[in-house]
Each structure stands twice: as C-alpha cells, then as structure tokens.
Amino acid sequence: MKKQQVAPKTFDSLRQVIRDRFQDLSPHLQRIARASLEEPNTFALSTTSKIAESLEVQPSTLIRFSKEFGYSGFSELQSVFRQRLIEGEPTTREQVLSETTAGPQEVEDVLGNVVSASIEALEMLRNEANTSDIAQAVKMMREARHVYVAGLRRSRPVADYLVYGLLRTEKPSSLLDFAGGMAGPQISTIGPDDVLIAIAFPPYSTPVVNAVMDANVSGRQIITITDASDSPLAQNARVALFVDADTKAPLQPVSGSMGLVQALLVLVGQR
C-alpha cells in the first residue's frame, strides 16, 4: 500500500517538495507545478476553472495535482497559497523602500550594501564555477552556426548583453522575441548546428522554461545559465552553467551572471 504523504503546511515547504519531485511528475502535472511556483498569487486568488483554463488542463487535473502532494483537494492546496498572502510576505518593492531614505548616510549605506552583494556574487562565481563545463559551452558556441538567447525579467539584461557581445565577435546571434510573440516560430527554426542559450533563476520564467523544453524535445543543443542542478533549465540542457545569486540583498545582483557571460564572450572571441 502506498504510504500516505503528509501535505506541506507552508508555501516554502510546498515549493521545496515540488522541486524535489518535479521530474517524477507527468507532463500535465509538471505544467501545473511550474505555474504554481511562477504565479503563486494566481493560485491563491483564481478559481479552479480559471486556473485550469489558463493552463489548458482539466479541473480534475488540478485535483490530481493536489492529491499528489497529500492534499484532500484543490481547496486545501489553495489555502497554502492564500496563507502566503495573509502572512504578508514583503514584496521586493517594500523591501527596497524599507532600505532607502533621502539622507546622505542612508544612501551611502545602501550603495555599500549593493556593491558588497555584487562582489559576493562575483566571488561565488570565481570560487564555484565549473571550468570544464564553461570550456564545453565555449566550444559549442564557437562551432554553432547561429546562437539563440532566451532570458526574461532580471535575466533579460544578461541575455541582451550576451547577444550584443556575440555580435561584436561577428557570431550570428539573436534574442528570442517573447514580447512580439515570435519565440515559438524562432524555436522551430533552430537547426542541429545552432545553439540555444537560456538564462533563468527562481522564480523561473515559464516562457523560458517552455522554450528550453521545446528545444530539448527537438533534440537541439542547449546551454543554460541558472542556479542549481534541479532547475528545470538544467535538467533539459546539454551543458548547465551555475551561478549562485542567493545573497541577502533585497534585489538579487546580476553581477555573477554578467561576469560569467563576459568570460564566455572573451573565450569565444579568442579564435
């Protein structure tokens, strides 16, 4: 008899269980899992039918997803997401505003904290980067006919800079056009001699995760820049490069991922 699973009582514990068991879920349940971590407020406030419609699944699949993690039904699961809102978890905006006032001393303190967080991220990159994986990524980028790059939210400036740098080295490259709705057609044109580089950190942007999964299904070459081996990007990549950006700063720095990208560009340019 299958052991009855104890349902997680908090959002943080549920998030960890979902990450731990993600690869064991069916494709439909994986879709729900990604959305629950990407858009927890939607899961807290929307109805079962609306969530199911947006994910293109049956309402019964949401119930099955809930029972998979020990809940009696979707209502009990939804209460965990609602509790997250009731507890008043501070938003990024509130965290940033709480750190800043108009006085010169406060500005100096905040500037010092931001610089320290950026340095911390760069030090972690230098101490923990896997140079063998970086060398393999560089080889793939050099040999690629065309490099496609995907990145949204705080990964977007990193993706933009990567494309800029590749073009400066005269390597054909382009950014996936999520805003214009052309990312899907672009992915369909990725050939066996091309490379997709996807960049995402928690909470992983669903369009980027889906782009990686689609490219992986098509057997394309994928390099990912992400946070850990259990990232949905890393699990579908030929080469995964890790940047640990989990600092105490209210806004997570992009210095680590930018440093990694700059190293890749310098290495790719050394023909």
In a 3-state reduction of DSSP, which class is residue 174? strand
More confident residue, 18 or 84: 18
User: Quick one: pLDDT at residue 206?
Assistant: 83
Q: How far apart are CA 46 and CA 44, in angstroms?
A: 6
Q: What is the three-state SS of 87-101?
A: CCCCCHHHHHHHCCC
Please, which residues have CB within 8 angstroms of residue 46's CB and are 6 or more apart in sequence? 54
Given a contact cutoff of 8 angstroms between Cβ atoms, the answer to whether 68 and 77 are in contact is no
Hey, which residues does 147 pair with through a beta bridge?
173, 195
Share of the chain above pLDDT 90, in %: 34
User: Quick one: pLDDT at residue 92?
Assistant: 47
In this structure, how many other beta carbons lie within 10 angstroms of the beta carbon of residue 1?
3
More confident residue, 175 or 38: 175
pTM: 0.63
Given a contact cutoff of 8 angstroms between Cβ atoms, the answer to whether 211 and 198 are in contact is yes
Helix axes 255-269, 104-128, angle to 10 degrees: 50
Query: What is the tens place of the pLDDT at every residue in 238-263?
Result: 999 998 755 555 567 888 999 999 99
Long-range contacts of 99-102 (CB under 8 A, 24+ apart): 99/250
What ranges make up the beta strands (E) of 181-256?
195-199, 221-226, 239-242
Query: What is the tens place of the pLDDT at every residue in 3-36?
Result: 557 888 888 888 888 888 888 899 889 989 888 8
User: Quick one: pLDDT at residue 250?
Assistant: 56
End-to-end CA distance of the chain: 60
Output Rg (C-alpha) for the chain, integer angstroms. 20
Query: What is the tens place of the pLDDT at every residue in 150-201?
Result: 999 889 999 999 999 999 999 999 999 888 888 888 888 899 999 999 999 8
The domains found in the chain, sorted by start residue, are 11-86 (1.10.10.10), 124-269 (3.40.50.10490)
